[in-house]
Chains A and B, each alone.
Chain A
Amino acid sequence: MITISAFKKVPEFAQGQVRDLRARWALEEAGLPYKTRLLKQGDQDKQDYRALQPLGRYPYSRKTASCSSNRSHCALYRRAQRDAPAKGCRRALPRTQWLIAALNSIEPFVMNVALIDLFYANEEWAKLRRPGAVEFVQRRLSALSKSFGDKRYLDGDRSRPAI
């Protein structure tokens, strides 16, 4: 049974956003059952947890072998497991590119705005920084939107999202 680790408690604004949702959703789409290991604040810094996950993030472990490092790797690992044996690389490649684009080309710039809004909204520097951060992310989003064309999902007009 796959185990997803997640925080037991987070501030209200983070509920429904915390990134273990990504692993949960991928497993739900794949029809794979999972259980959760819920961590109290501070548990992620304890030695036994760091042995599984050196950065103290939220991985999941599969039976006794853990899939660690970070959420992105978990998602890649699941993708590789699902795609590699049956379908080969032909279909997996654009999906992997989109996955990395989401995490590396879009998310950092989304987070620039989110951090300002959620944690530093009243800081003078944040008020000065926000318009530029918004403008930048809008450029990335505009490119993303154009790439959709008439497709339903990023990897084509498939019946379910792969990314």
Chain B
Amino acid sequence: MMTTVLRILEHTDIVTSDKRLAAYIERCTARSAFKRAFDAQIGDFKDAA
């Protein structure tokens, strides 16, 4: 949950300028479960387009 909150500011370096937080986001979003969820959401948008 914390990662999805921090990713909201991915258009800025406000979060990622902190090395620990950047590494944490990297670690979480590299997980296959995250990738599957992310791809499923994007996939649903593509299917609906």
Same complex for A and B? Answer yes
The answer to whether B1 and A22 touch across the interface, beta carbons within 8 angstroms, is: yes
Q: A75-B1, A106-B5, A107-B8 are in contact. Are A16 and B20 (CB under 8 A)?
A: no
> Which has the most chain A C-beta neighbours within 10 Å: B1, B8, B15?
B1
Q: Which 8 A-B pairs have the closest CB atoms?
A: A28-B33, A24-B37, A25-B37, A8-B48, A102-B2, A29-B33, A102-B1, A107-B5
Q: Which of A20, A28, A114, A117 contacts B36 (CB 8 A)?
A: A28
Report B's interface with A, CB cutoff 8 A: 1-9, 11-12, 14-15, 18, 20-21, 24, 27-28, 31, 33-34, 36-38, 40-42, 44-45, 48-49
Q: What does DSSP make chain A's interface, helix, strand, loop or mixed?
A: helix
Q: How far is the CA of A111 from the CA of B34 in the complex (A)?
A: 22
Binds B, one of A42-50, A60-68, A86-94, A133-141: A133-141
Contacts of A8 in B (CB 8 A): 44-45, 48
Contacts of A144 in B (CB 8 A): 2, 21
Is A122 in the interface zone, CB < 8 Å from B? no
